[in-house]
Structure 1
């Protein structure tokens, strides 16, 4: 896979995640936003571990 396609596969979801976090978090305080970001990142790591077969 070319490097530019790989980087887009990483950059686009991060940008979408930031936009959604901003949209949802408009009424939240900073601690709630940080907690939401942390929980989401933990879920992403869990999904990656499951997809890669717990290696």
Structure 2
């Protein structure tokens, strides 16, 4: 789950048991009780992380 809202997107993903990535372009602190599996600050960083996670082709 990739999302920009830690309360609905990330917490919802965590509650559903899926890996989460918080798109946090403004560098906000992680809200208490919500720990995303991964965090990125730009769409370029997100793309690089997704490509790396996909592994070699």
Q: TM-score range by the shorter chain?
A: 0.3 to 0.5
Larger radius of gyration: 1
- Give 1 or 2: higher strand fraction: 2
**TM-score, scaled relative to structure 1:** 0.37
**TM-score, scaled relative to structure 2:** 0.36
